[in-house]
A and B are shown apart, each in its own frame.
Chain A
Amino acid sequence: DIQMTQSPSSLSASIGDRVTITCRASQSVSSYLNWYQQKPGKAPNLLIYAASSLQSGVPSRFSGSGSGTDFTLTISSLQPEDFATYYCQQTYSTQWTFGPGTTVNIK
């Protein structure tokens, strides 16, 4: 199966900071890459699909880029409600897989 890695595993940032999270696949997944946000005790929420398409209702400060094996999620100006854990997910193979997550903490 396709393994997903994310870096960093956690980061500390301040309100208004630009934040970048990286996701790497063990083989090419083309653009079959999604990003989710999860807050403690809640279900995940879809942010980005197809590597760079913004899900309806998601603020435009979130953006995604990349294709093949390397992908990036960017939050252009971190807001208080963005402190959460972020997961990438590949849907290229029959067995979908998630990355291990990146937790964004308040500095």
Chain B
Amino acid sequence: EVQLVESGGGLVQPGGSLRLSCAASGFTFSTYWMHWVRQVPGKGLVWVSRINSGGSSTSYADSVKGQFTISRDNAKNTLYLQMNSLRAEDTAVYYCAREGKVAAGVVSYYYMDVWGKGTTVTVSS
């Protein structure tokens, strides 16, 4: 079964750090690009970051650039999100998601086809 399981969430004080993990199983993790998405309870989805299959290329939302770092360990089938200098507005459920791709002629389209159940991060004193 294709599965993503997030962990590492919890309560952290403002200014603190946290590292989230996302364990992948049931598919060849090393061949897929991966994402982090967050959602404040009761609010909408916000894309956070993306990493290519080999881990050499990353991109971030402006709101977390310089604060969060995405990485992966393909030997361990695990995706990470290092979060530093945390603020109250970083409080959210954090999802990892697999990037799917379909080729249509010379063009490829991308989407998130597998999601984890999420891990909750609460930034509060």
Contact = CB atoms under 8 A, between A and B. Distances in A.
A16 interface: no
Interface in B84-117: 95, 100, 102, 104, 109-113, 115-117
Contact of B112 (A1, A31, A46, A101): A46
A34 interface: yes
A46 to B, nearest CB: 5
Interface string A86-107: 0101010011111111000000
A19 interface: no
Q: How large is the interface on B (under 10, 10 to 19, 20 to 34, 35 or more residues)?
A: 20 to 34
A101 B45 CA distance: 8
Nearest to A56: B113
Interface string A52-68: 01010000000000000
Interface of A: 1, 31-32, 34, 36, 38, 42-46, 49-50, 53, 55, 87, 89, 91, 94-101
Given A32-B109, A44-B112, A49-B102, 8 more contacts: A1-B62, A36-B112, A43-B95, A49-B109, A89-B112, A91-B109, A96-B47, A98-B47
